[in-house]
Amino acid sequence: MPVIRIAWGDFPNVAVQAKRSVLGRYPSLAETYSCAQNGNAEAARAVVNRLYRPATVSAFAGEKIDFVVPVLLSNQANALASELAHFVALGLGAEVVRCITQDHTMPNLDPEILALPSFQGPVPPGRYVIVDDMVTLGSSIADLRGWITANGGTVAFATSLFAAHGASKLCPQSADVAALKSRVKMQALEQVIPFPLEYLTARETDWLKTFAWSKCPKPKTIHSTVSTPVLPNHMGHSTFRDCHGFLVCGC
C-alpha cells in the first residue's frame, strides 16, 4: 500500500492525555502499563481509565465525529490504542473503526527514524479521530491521516495517551523546513522522502536536520521521484515504485 502524506493546513496539535512521567510516580500504574503494552486488554483498560481526560478531546471535536480509528498493526495488538479509542468514541458518540491497519513499515536509512508506515483497509466516509498510545515522531498519525483523507474521509484531530517531548506538535515550522533544505542536498532527501518536506512532522524535520548524512550508504540510482502526492480518487489510482521501493501515487 502507498505511503500518503498531505499538507498539514490548520490541523491541530495532538491532544495528549498525560505526561509519561506519571508512570515513574506510580509504580503500580507502570506495572499495569507494561502488561498493557504486551497486549493485555484488561490492563490497558485500567491504564486508560486512570489517565483519560475527556475534556482534552471534547475541546477539539467541533462538528460531529463519526469514527474513531486506533493506530493498529496488522500483525500485533495495540491494546492501549484500542482501549483509548473505545473511551474516546463513547464520549463523542462515535463508532470505533478497526478495519484500517498498518500494512508494514517501509525500509529506509534509519528504521528508528525514517521508516514510514503505510496503511490498508476500507475507509467509511465521515469525520475521524486518530488514536495512538504513544507519539514519538508522529509518523503513524501523519500517514494514517493521509490514507484516510485519500480514501474519502476527513480527520478532525488526533489524540494519544502519551507523547515524547515536542512530539504533540505535528506541523513543522517553515523555518525548520528551510533549514533542512539548506543543510542537506535535495537529491539526498528525495532518496528517502517520497513526498514534499513540508508534509513531514515537526519531530521528523528536527531529526533529519541533525541526521549524520555523511555516514549514509551511497544512494541508489533514482528511478523516479515525486514532488507532490496525487491523492487517489474513488475510482482507483495508479502507483509506481521509487528507488527505495516506496509505492507512490501517480495520476
Does residue 106 fall inside a structural domain? yes
The residue segments making up the domain with residue 158 are 15-163
Segment 55-77 shows an average pLDDT of 84
**Is 229 part of any domain?**
no
* pLDDT band, residue 202 (cuts 50/70/90): very high
Are the beta carbons of 72 and 84 closer than 8 angstroms? no
Report the domain count for the chain.
1
Distance CA 3, CA 195 (A): 9
Whether residue 64 lies inside any domain: the answer is yes
Name the grid cell of 237: 489510482
Greatest C-alpha distance within the chain: 53
**CATH value at residue 49:** 3.40.50
pLDDT tens readout for residues 71-100:
987 656 679 999 999 999 999 999 999 888
Cell 488514536 sits on residue: 131
Angle between helix axes 174-183 and 202-210 (nearest 10 degrees) is 30
Residue range 8-52, pLDDT digits in tens: 999 999 999 999 999 999 999 999 999 998 889 999 999 999 999
Is residue 90 one of the residues assigned to a domain? yes
Q: What are phi and psi of 188, to 5 degrees?
A: -65, -40
Tens-place pLDDT, residues 167-186: 999 999 999 999 888 877 76
